[in-house]
Copies of this chain bind each other. A is one copy, B any other.
Amino acid sequence: MNAPQAVVKQGRKFDQVLDGARRVFLRDGFEGASVDDIARAAGVSKATLYSYFPDKRLLFIEVAKIECQAQSDAAVEQVEAIQDARIALAKAAKHMTRFFMSDVGLQVHRIIVGESQRFPELGREFYESGPARVHTTLRAFLQRAVDAGQMQIEDIDLAADQFPELCKAGLHLKMLLGLRDAPTDEEINRVIDGAVDVFFARYGTDA
């Protein structure tokens, strides 16, 4: 008869908890965030929080996974359609670079790198739901470009690894360490154009 919401029943405040956790973890890091803080930010009692997540670690992993998936979803869709390889890659570069330099992107990166020793599964979850998807998409894209005669690449896996690195080009580390302000559009374009130029100098077939 009625199927109001077929989703898993998980209590009214589940999303509130995730949302508060997201805010506090991204602000303070994993160790820096206290569960009391998260409960307060979520507008929820500590007991409620613990009724949803057995411990702090799993709560964090959930937040990180959601965050990565959202981002790589957006990045992946963009590239799929476009025909001209150079234009498509420039577009992908813009997306990646913007994300690498964003507050969320940087903070997730910091936390994951800092905590992956203590929680090995965290590193894997993050990698699978973020970088791995980008790599796969990029590889498929490059393969198509090669098949279409737009590019010439012997080692597609290597190329698909090189491109995102090129999009970091110095800015990323400095931002990670808090050594500079957010780059201007101009600076981002410089990095993007540089990445595409380098990439096509090596792998392009166009004259």
For A157-195 the 0/1 string (1 means CB < 8 A from B) is 111111001101111011011110000000000110011
- Chain B residues within 8 Å of A31, by CB: 31
- In chain A, residues 187-207, which have Cβ atoms closer than 8 Å to a Cβ of chain B? 190-191, 194-195, 197-199, 201-202
Q: Which of A8-16, A106-114, A142-150 contacts B (4 or more CB under 8 A)?
A: A106-114
Question: How many A residues touch B, CB cutoff 8 Å?
Answer: 48
Nearest to A130 among chain B residues (CB) is B173
Q: Which of A68-76, A79-87, A121-129 contacts B (4 or more CB under 8 A)?
A: A121-129
Of B32, B135, B178, B201, which one neighbours A170 at CB under 8 angstroms? B135
Do A178 and B123 touch (CB < 8 A)? yes
- Shortest beta-carbon distance from A197 to chain B in Å: 6
Do B117 and A173 touch (CB < 8 A)? no
Nearest to A176 among chain B residues (CB) is B113
Please report the C-alpha to C-alpha distance between residue A82 and residue B11 in the assembled complex, in whole angstroms.
Answer: 67
**Most chain B beta-carbon contacts within 10 A, residue among A114, A158, A171:** A114
- Chain B residues within 8 Å of A115, by CB: 114
Of B114, B165, B179, B198, which one neighbours A202 at CB under 8 angstroms? B198
Do B110 and A158 touch (CB < 8 A)? no
Given A169-B161, A169-B165, also A113-B155 (CB < 8 A) = no
Do A158 and B124 touch (CB < 8 A)? no
Given A31-B31, A110-B113, also A170-B174 (CB < 8 A) = no
Question: What are 17 A-B interface contacts by the 8 Å CB criterion?
Answer: A29-B117, A111-B114, A113-B114, A113-B177, A114-B114, A120-B178, A127-B179, A131-B173, A155-B190, A158-B190, A161-B171, A162-B195, A165-B165, A165-B168, A197-B202, A198-B201, A201-B201
Closest 6 pairs between A and B when the two form their complex, measured CB to CB: A114-B114, A161-B170, A123-B177, A201-B202, A165-B165, A161-B169
